[in-house]
Amino acid sequence: MRKSILVISLLLNLLLAAGLLLVVDRLGGWTYAMFRLQHDEAGLYHHRTQLFEMMQPSPGAVIFLGDSHTEQCEWQELLRPDSFSILNRGIVGDHVQGVLDRLEEVLRHKPRRIYLMIGINDLIFQKKPEAILSVYREIVAQIRSKSPNSELFLQSVLPVNNQIKKIGTTNDNIRALNAGIATLARDYALPYIDIFSSLLDANGNLDPRFTEDGIHLNGVGYSVWKMEMIHHSSFIIHHSLGF
């Protein structure tokens, strides 16, 4: 009797384990499954891209393109332009391939300027900087080829603070990626805006004054971002955005 119960219990545990493995596989593997459980962002990429595609073209707009760092800022209100619109094309959880896949929607606006920041989520998913930069280079190449009149600004990936919360990557990895982005900017003769350095504390982490969760920025953090944009592209920002 005990042997039968043991066998049944073992079979049930095996079925449970198989079911768990199937669920994890459907979620995209262990890393992505944990990410989704922590962030609850399933489907948001599709929701936002579908919304973007429904919008009317906005010729000559300035576009902010990236992930949650971009999405969570009200750029139109922060920068207050008088003569043109700013489009926020940030999507929570996005990565370099996601940006590459949705470039057609971005470029249909024939933007006067694009501010690009992307790559932190790729690092969180344990992708190597070299692999990230390979896709990043394709993003830049396509923008330059398909929208040659658009001014493209490459922005550094922002630092993190693992002492506040375990993020899944380190600032050393981010520095390596940013070095590659800066090199890419030089290769294409594009402006590179280093926001990373201005957000660091004395220990080389994202300063707690600028974040609540160790990765995303609060309002004070976005004001630093704004000032770095002015500092690194003062002529363009002052004359075009009315500062």
The answer to whether the beta carbons of residues 205 and 165 sit under 8 Å apart is no
Is 110 in the same domain as 170?
yes
Is 30 in the same domain as 112?
no
Q: Of 87, 135, 83, nearest to 107 (Cα)?
A: 87
Is 72 in the same domain as 182?
yes
Q: Of 177, 168, 166, 116, nearest to 142 (Cα)?
A: 116
Is 33 in the same domain as 67?
no
Domain around 90: 58-241
How many structural domains are present in the chain? 2
Quick check: is 206 in a domain?
Answer: yes
Is 111 in the same domain as 162?
yes
- Number of helical H runs and strand E runs in the chain: 12, 5
Note down pLDDT in tens along the chain; length 243 residues.
Answer: 566 666 566 776 677 766 666 654 544 455 545 555 454 455 788 899 999 999 999 999 999 999 999 999 999 999 988 778 999 999 999 999 999 999 999 999 999 999 999 999 999 999 999 999 999 999 999 999 999 999 999 999 999 999 999 999 999 999 999 999 999 999 999 999 999 999 999 999 999 999 999 999 999 999 999 999 888 765 344 444 443
Structure tokens at 188: 């294409």
